[in-house]
Amino acid sequence: MISSSTSIGILGDGQLAMMLGESAERRKIPFIGFGKDKDSSFARRFPKNFELEIKGQCKSFTLENEFFSSEALAAFQARWHTPICPKPQDYKHFENKIAQRSFYKSLGVPSPQWCVYPKTLEYPQILKTSQGGYDGYGVRFVSTAAELAPALEALGHSKGRAILVEEKVKIHKELAQGVLLDGQGGVVYLPLVESIQQNGICILTLSQPTLPDAELRDAQSQAKAILDKIAKSGIAGLYHFEFFYTTEGRLVMNEGAPRPHNSTHLTLDASDWSQFDLLVEFLNRGMLPLPSGTQIEATPSIMVNLLGKTSGTEYALKLPKIEDGIEIYPKLYLKKENRPGRKMGHVNLVDRRATPLSANEFLALGHKIFKEYEL
């Protein structure tokens, strides 16, 4: 029996919980995952660390998804008298997209123009369901007034769903960065990465954004200024933020997540500290594991998301031949069922050679892997 009083409790049993557990295991930090599915990624990987219901007080709790309300987390924390990360009062800023936009506005963080339907903006505009929706779901592009009603119906407005309306930003690049915050202004920065989208789903992330040096320095500077504002707000925990770098050279906030995130999985193999290492050590120690202001670096690398291509319960990963000298780190998520478009795993490609590939060469390699792998 695993002692709950010394363990980190993970609320959720998907692949992010599984990778948190793997990091804790490597660092010899006791952990328990709480979920609802005995065939989940976490339960399959750590059957002895999996519980269907919470039976005791853990040292601290964290969560791997946003399938909670801030009220539910507050009640949970009151019941167990145990710290939860993120705190319910911090989580409330991220539990839906309208709350996020209001939070960023209060901090003066640059964002797209936005409003809540029935208010609207000039066309073209983007409609998003405020609650839920990811990987391209819950989003509609509306270019004319005639397209508005069908989009609202598709997003469930008639069923009472709140709809966020945003301007269509002129995107030059999509970037993402994670941070570990101590709640007192202290911050550890994960690498700023570029994400490549296809049909609303991230398929690749690059450790070296495909921007000219001057633009990259500008984007990094703007990102750090935004993240420092968020750090000074007093929220604590591991957070990830997705940005649009516009054609005018402006960095604006897209969305944030109060948890580990797909965009920085490349830190598992390309960095001395992964996003999961940072979080489990923070939960275990109750403080930043590295000095505030630390910037985690990444060896030139790319992550390729492995999306399902067929349906069924039997699958195995087959990758095309990779260029000599590039290290390959495949990771399957142990999901029971393979479905078209479902994130079934990822592969990190890390170039440790003296003369590594350029960002654009890595991007071309990533597209080749994504197109040719079999699952």
Residues of the chain with CATH 3.30.470.20: 171-372
Length of the chain: 375
Q: Which residue has the tokens 């339960």?
A: 43
pLDDT at 136: 54
pLDDT at 60 over 60: yes
Higher-confidence residue of 27 and 3: namely: 27
Residue 326: pLDDT band (50, 70, 90) is very high
Q: CA dihedral defined by 283, 284, 287, 288, rounded to 10 degrees?
A: -80
Confirm or reject CATH 3.30.1490.20 for domain 113-167, answering yes or no. Answer: yes
- pLDDT tens readout for residues 355-373: 999 999 999 999 999 999 9
Q: Tell me the average pLDDT across 134-161.
A: 90
Count of C-beta atoms within a 10 Å radius of residue 126: 18
What is residue 117's predicted lDDT score, i.e. its pLDDT?
A: 97
Instruction: Taking each helix axis as running N to C, give the angle between helix 275-285 and helix 15-26, from 0 to 180 degrees, rounded to the nearest 10.
Output: 70
Spatial neighbors of 369 by CB under 8 A, at least 6 apart, are 304, 319, 320, 322, 347, 349
The whole-angstrom distance between residue 88's C-alpha and the CA centroid of its chain comes to 19
The rounded percent of the chain whose pLDDT value lies above 90 is: 87
User: What is the per-residue pLDDT for 209?
Assistant: 98
pLDDT, position 2? 66
For the chain, where do the domains classified as CATH 3.30.1490.20 start and end?
A: 113-167
Q: How many C-alpha atoms does 228 have within 13 Å on its Cβ side?
A: 10
- For a pLDDT cut of 70, what percent of the chain falls above it? 98
Residue 281 pLDDT greater than 70, yes or no: yes
Over range 301-324, report the average pLDDT.
90
User: Quick one: tokens of 40?
Assistant: 């989940």
Sequence-separated (6 or more) residues with CB below 8 Å from residue 154: 140
Tell me the residue ranges of DSSP E strands in the chain.
8-11, 31-34, 50-51, 60-63, 84-85, 114-116, 125-129, 139-142, 163-167, 171-182, 187-189, 193-198, 201-206, 236-246, 251-257, 301-307, 326-332, 343-351
Angstrom distances, CA of residue 228 to CA of 107, 144, 172: 10, 38, 23
- DSSP single-letter state for residue 64: S
Tell me the β-bridge partners of 31: 8
pLDDT in tens, 238-258: 999 999 999 999 999 999 999
For residue 105, which of 21, 226, 242 has the smallest C-alpha distance? Answer: 226
Residue 139's pLDDT is: 92
**171-372 CATH:** 3.30.470.20
Tell me, which fold does domain 8-91 have in CATH? Rossmann fold (3.40.50)
Residue 304: the pLDDT is 97
The yes-or-no verdict on residue 172 having pLDDT over 80 is: yes
- In the chain, CATH 3.40.50.20 covers 8-91
Lowest mean pLDDT among 2-6, 43-47, 234-238: 2-6
Helix-then-strand count for the chain, H and E: 10, 18
Would you state the pLDDT for residue 255? 95
pLDDT at 134 over 70: no
Give the helix ranges, DSSP H, for 173-324.
213-231, 267-270, 275-285
Look at residue 156 and tell me whether its pLDDT is greater than 70: yes
Q: Is the pTM of this model over 0.85?
A: yes
